[in-house]
Chain A
Amino acid sequence: MAIRERLSGNEAVAYAIKQINPDVMPAFPITPSTEIPQYVANYIANGEIDTEFIHVESEHSSMSATLGASAAGARALTATSSCGLALMWEELYVAASDRLPIVLALVNRALTGPININADHSDSMGARDSGWIQIYAESNQEVYDNFLQAYPIAEHKDVRLPVMICQDGFITSHGVENIELVEDAPVKEFVGEYEPEHYLLNKKETMAIGPYAVSNYYMETKRAQRQAMLNAKQVILDVAAKFEQMTGRKYGFFEEYRMEDAEYAVVIIGSAAGTCKAAIDQIRENTGKKVGLVKIRVFRPFPEEELAQALKNVKAVAVLDRSEMFAGTSGPLGAEVRAALFGAKADVEVVNYFYGLGGRDITITDFEEIYGKLENIAKTHKINDMYSYIGLRSK
């Protein structure tokens, strides 16, 4: 029987951690992810889990210690946000190349300059090339569900890659929503015992990890990581199918919302998808216009072909980026979606906008305007405001 609860996104992740009962959690406080280690520390203080907490002195050390624990043969994880992830940046690459199935609960928050504690995706998008699987959530339910799926994906023998479970700072991390939790026993069965094949504390053999590899081996290492990322696609789908059997909740690389007959589509990541869905319902009801949404769940590996397939029949697409990459051109999602459509030779107009940086709200009215622009772009084949910022106070 499912458990009906009301939890914030951070509580939902902490509850998932409690149910999984991992071995080691190093963590360092940073808003808005701080609550996750706080909840875990409480579980530990009350003897509810066996997890050992490491009170590290920085996020660089939290990922370093997580990596050490994972290499030793433990199921390890950490949580962070924003600058914390930036401080881990070097370690993210080491974790991925060491092929360690670490899970990171990331509560997305804008990177500093100016300092800002609210949601955007500049932290995780900055880490998009680090070799981590990245899975994003719209709601508290999704972040809980994604977290339960993280270890089965990370630890799969065809994958063995670290996984970042992302949610939007404050919007879901602190917003309390109704949520359906899975009971402990099925969670334990779903996630399973961690039985690493190679690890430092293996009785049967010693292991060395983290070598110096010059040009005659480095490239093969990278190709192997690429293969693991390619393999992850099927594993992500298989794990999602198993999860659906357990809960009835269906997951894939992305969610298509009212896309069956859509002529105008938005592509977006994270919590703003909820606002977009509300706008779609209103527009369809009020005007009958065929608008839809593709909400990316899995950004790494990037579901290029599948996404092109989902978008190839629409007239115009607006790709919305919640982070800049200061190319003077696209945002990260915009660049990849356009590349996917170009690769598929899809005859679709694509416009790329920026929104929600540093926690700026995006409203139903904003989405109505975006769909209006898409209609105009489809009609005129002209894009006048490529790469513009939605809801900007001054130009």
Chain B
Amino acid sequence: MENTYQFKEVMSREERLAPGHRMCAGCGGTVAVRAVLRALHPEDKAVIGNATGCLEVSTFMYPYVAYEDSYIHNAFENAGATLSGVETAYRVLKKKGKITDNYKFITFGGDGGTYDIGFQSLSGAMERGHDMVYVCYDNGAYMNTGTQRSSATPQFADTTTTPAGKVLNGKVQVRKDLTAIMAEHHIPYAAQTTYTSNFKDLHTKAEKAIYTPGAAFLNIMSPCPRGWGYDPSELMNICKLAVDTCYWPMFEVMDGKWKLTYEPKKKLPIEDFLRPQKRFKHLFKSGNEDLLVQFQNEVDKRWEELQKKCSL
């Protein structure tokens, strides 16, 4: 599928997330959702699931819905389980001849609904091997409730529950590596991506995730202008810096085989990614140089580990 990416054709597909929803300008989540839905083959039907979060409250506010496909929101912590029920119903009804169309099953959750409160439900759904895709749009905090820290929040990020103060420098802990954890479920396909330039990496992975039989997990870094504190017009640049500093490496794990899908020609220093974001402003105060070193060390350590896994 990788070599057949045709930018114009993909971009001219009919939108499956209609305009008029209430997501913010410069929101990375919306870009991620649209990009994933573009990977559906136009002839296929889909049921879209959604954990409670920004996306859900902004795209299905009664009586308006932004999805062209059937859509189900249940609660915050159970997008995995809910869609597994839908997918199972599909298999039974298809077997009984009550349904003839082809359906694909994709559910979206933010990092709060995926890394944290929905983690168990996600793990169960993946382990059971439902033919569905769980997409995490990871913006690194509970943005819908106003930027509270999650286990996806990077170390030192200033959030409303880990404020950078006189004695604390934002979040104390480092972030959870959820994509690796999902890969260790030995599901057919797990991948991590974001959108840079022509959306090829995201599109290719979304298509693989949707069309690989069985459970698939896709983790998409999706910046949030309010929570991260960047100018909305800078969205694509932020993503580019995330991958070029190796803060957010793009890789996939298919049938147990780890593969980097992007390697920066020149690995940039982490400061380049952190500097445009208000949530890291305190790291650039004099006296905090060691925090930047710590951050860089963590990125380097993880990048090396990932490179090892991918070279096996």
Contacts and interface: CB of A to CB of B under 8 A. Distances in A.
Interface in B89-117: 89-93, 95-96, 98-101, 103
A55 B124 CA distance: 8
Given A64-B82, A217-B62, A209 B73 contact: yes
Given A68-B74, A90-B75, A203-B100, A61 B124 contact: yes
A68 B60 contact: no
Interface residues of A, number: 43
B78 A200 contact: no
Contacts, number: 160
B86 A71 contact: yes
B233 interface: no
Interface in A89-146: 90-91, 94
B260 interface: no
A210 B73 contact: yes
Given A61-B121, A203-B101, A209 B72 contact: yes
A91 B74 contact: yes
Interface string A11-27: 00000000000011010
A101 to B, nearest CB: 13
Contact of B85 (A72, A202, A203, A211): A72
B92 A50 contact: yes
Contacts of A217: 62-63
Interface residues of B, number: 46
A73 B120 contact: no
Interface in A61-88: 61-62, 64-74, 76
Interface string B176-193: 000000000000000000
Interface in A18-56: 23-24, 26, 50-52, 54-56
Contacts of B80: 61
B61 A212 contact: yes
A contact face: mostly helix, strand, loop, or mixed = mixed
A76 B78 contact: no
Given A52-B92, A214-B61, A72 B86 contact: yes
Contacts of A71: 72, 85-86
A58 interface: yes
A207 interface: yes
Nearest to A22: B92
A76 B101 CA distance: 21
A57 B121 CA distance: 7
A64 B121 contact: yes
A208 B84 contact: no
Given A57-B124, A64-B81, A211-B65, A23 B73 contact: no
A327 interface: no
Contact of B121 (A60, A209, A210): A60
Nearest to A210: B73
A41 to B, nearest CB: 14
Interface string B1-18: 000000000000000000
B60 A211 contact: yes
B88 interface: yes
Nearest to B128: A55
B62 A211 contact: yes
A210 B62 CA distance: 9
Nearest to B58: A212
Contact of B78 (A23, A61, A213, A214): A61
B71 interface: yes
B93 A72 contact: yes
Contact of B86 (A69, A208, A211, A214): A69
A210 B91 CA distance: 22
A212 to B, nearest CB: 4
A245 interface: no
Given A23-B89, A57-B121, A201-B47, A65 B81 contact: yes
B84 to A, nearest CB: 5
A196 to B, nearest CB: 10
B67 interface: yes
A217 B98 CA distance: 34
B138 interface: no
Nearest to A212: B57
A65 B82 contact: yes
A206 interface: yes
A209 to B, nearest CB: 5
B158 interface: no
B252 interface: no
B70 interface: yes
Contacts of A206: 67-71
Interface in A209-268: 209-214, 217
A266 to B, nearest CB: 40
Contacts of A50: 92, 95-96
Given A60-B77, A60-B78, A68 B72 contact: yes
Contacts of B95: 50
29 contacts: A24-B89, A54-B84, A54-B88, A57-B120, A60-B81, A61-B81, A64-B78, A65-B82, A65-B85, A67-B82, A67-B85, A68-B74, A68-B81, A68-B83, A68-B84, A69-B86, A71-B72, A76-B85, A90-B75, A200-B70, A200-B72, A203-B100, A206-B67, A208-B71, A210-B73, A210-B74, A212-B57, A212-B61, A213-B62
5 pairs of A and B residues whose beta carbons are closest in the complex: A68-B85, A65-B85, A57-B124, A61-B81, A72-B89
Given A73-B89, A201-B89, 15 more contacts: A52-B91, A58-B121, A62-B81, A68-B74, A71-B85, A72-B85, A73-B93, A74-B88, A91-B78, A200-B86, A202-B70, A206-B71, A212-B56, A213-B62, A214-B61
